[in-house]
Amino acid sequence: MNNVRKNIQKELSLLGQDLKKIHISDLLESTDFSHNVIELDFLTFDYSKQRIDQKTLDYLFHIPDLIDLKESLHSLFTGKISNPSENKLVSHTIYRNQAINDNFELIFTEREKIKSFLDQNQKGYSFKNIICLSIGGSRLGPEFLNEYLSLDGQVNIYFCSSFDLEEIKYALRECQQIDTIVFACSKSFKTFEIMKNLEYVKSWFSKKPEINFEDHLYGISSNASAMTDFGIKDANQFLLLESLGGRFSLWSSVSLPALVNADYESYQDLLYGAHLADEYTNNTSWEFNISVLMALLSIWNRNALDISNHGIFTYNFKLRSLTKYIAQLAMESNGKSINHNSEISPFLTTQLIWGGYGIENQHSTFQWLMQGKTETSCDFIGINNNEDGAKDSYEILLSQVLAMTLGQEDKTSPFKTVRGNNPCSIFQLQKLDLKSLGFLLALYEHKTFIEALILGIDPFDQWGVQLGKKLSMKAKKDKGFLKTFFSPSILPKS
């Protein structure tokens, strides 16, 4: 790990020594909160309730130049950044770019297949149910998007991946073979959980031999031959680039099942919003660049203030699962401490990401946040417009931010004292449309990438996850393997 990063880490520790002792309320200027607010067309970002001063901000804005961030961003947005430990290019930003790139031609041919599928089904669905077999990022992104799109959807969409098959059994109770189609999503088309669920669905269809399962089966993968071997027709195959990581795959055909209750224009809006975030992040100076600020604040809170966890709380029902999506994006990308050159990062790496639907959290986990002994940094995400309920929900959001940051001392009844001092940022969306959603999600992607660059790690591999897969396969093939490590009473029943 180069000395630049070691020096950054040391400087952050020094700057944090004083600010650890300061309360956020002491940092606020009573008359002007606008200097730490960034207003854009789609959203406003307010970081005025972070535990940080101008001296520290000035230093933080110096960090991107120390690691040549500008050059790295250019490489990311032109498809030239790589995943070095797996020797792959990284292509997720190309998926939302309308300009054809000769090196990624498959993206644009597959986009036409997505359009054809959605346009054809807009004329009248021949099915009422979709079973979507997917896991990890290939599930969390589309499942979240489906929740956003499907409050009034005509088609029921069920996401399944549980290895005990209880999830798929529950879903199929609501379905009939005649009006159900299946999407199997696995980049390798070898994912253990997906293939087990797929075999179960195949057996379910076999109960109706007059129905041809192959007419109801679609595949989303980078492995065309494996899809063909399983019996998926070429016309029902949607191909992914090998360079597209699962947690970055929302922009591809992976989201096709969720888009069935929308249309191709909705898909284009999502891509367009994300692409605008790409251009904004690439072309905006560091001090006005939300993705850069998010990454810098994350590293500051973790390394200077010793805050090990970060809560993300949404205040709109359609965004209730957004935190799960971001948690996987952040922690699978940056939940590591060593890079492909076997160099250990001098930083404490990514925070634990948790949270959820804010209205529910207020009546559960917020008690721990208010009066527990563990400090937490937070993002609050809400919609501020005149639509029914949005204003009231947003007022609650702002009130919770005040309680979380400023707290309140009660000298008469100390047990009522709330310490506050949890650093918080606010995302205020002007409206909740797909362009705004794409913009927001891409900002979080770029935050993750920029944070990884500063930390000196690779956000595009996941060797910890791979070990878990490897040992699971070993246990399945070698029935004596687990006996070496566990009591007989703990082992799977024979």
The angle formed by the CA atoms of residues 457, 460 and 465, to the nearest 5 degrees, is 95
Among candidate residues 55, 80, 416, 469, the one labeled active-site is 469
Torsion of the alpha carbons at 85, 185, 118 and 124, rounded to the nearest 10: -170
Tokens describing residue 166:
């209880």
C-alpha to C-alpha distances, 443 to 176, 202, 354, 355, 489, nearest whole angstrom: 41, 39, 18, 18, 48
Q: Is 469 a catalytic residue?
A: yes
C-alpha to C-alpha distances, 95 to 70, 112, 151, 486, nearest whole angstrom: 21, 13, 27, 46
Q: Is 446 a catalytic residue?
A: no
Q: Is 74 a catalytic residue?
A: no
Among candidate residues 21, 207, 363, 373, the one labeled active-site is 363
Q: Give the 3-state secondary structure of residue 76.
A: helix
309-314: strand order across its sheet:
37-39, 43-49, 424-429, 377-383, 309-314, 352-357
Q: Give the 3-state secondary structure of residue 43.
A: strand
Among candidate residues 332, 375, 445, 451, the one labeled active-site is 332
Contact residues for 205 (Cβ-Cβ < 8 A; gap 6+): 177, 211, 213, 216
Q: Do the Cβ atoms of 107 and 89 come closer than 8 Å? A: no
Q: Taking Cα atoms as reference points, which of 428, 377, 452 lies closest to residue 85?
A: 452
Q: Give the 3-state secondary structure of residue 27.
A: helix
Give all strands (DSSP E) within 192-322, no chain letters: 217-221, 237-239, 309-314
How far apart (Å, rounded) are the C-alpha atoms in residues 19 and 291?
23
Per-residue b or e along 228-254, where b marks 16 or more CB atoms closer than 10 Å to that residue's CB: eebebeeebbbbbbebbbbbbbbbbbb
Q: Taking Cα atoms as reference points, which of 193, 244, 239 lies closest to residue 220?
A: 239
Backbone angles phi, psi at 251, to 5 degrees: -85, 0
How far apart (Å, rounded) are the C-alpha atoms in residues 344 and 242?
28
Contact residues for 4 (Cβ-Cβ < 8 A; gap 6+): 66, 67
Pairing of strands 156-160, 129-133: parallel
Q: Name the β-bridge partners of 476.
A: none
Q: For 216, which DSSP code? A: G
Annotated active-site positions, please? Answer: 332, 363, 469
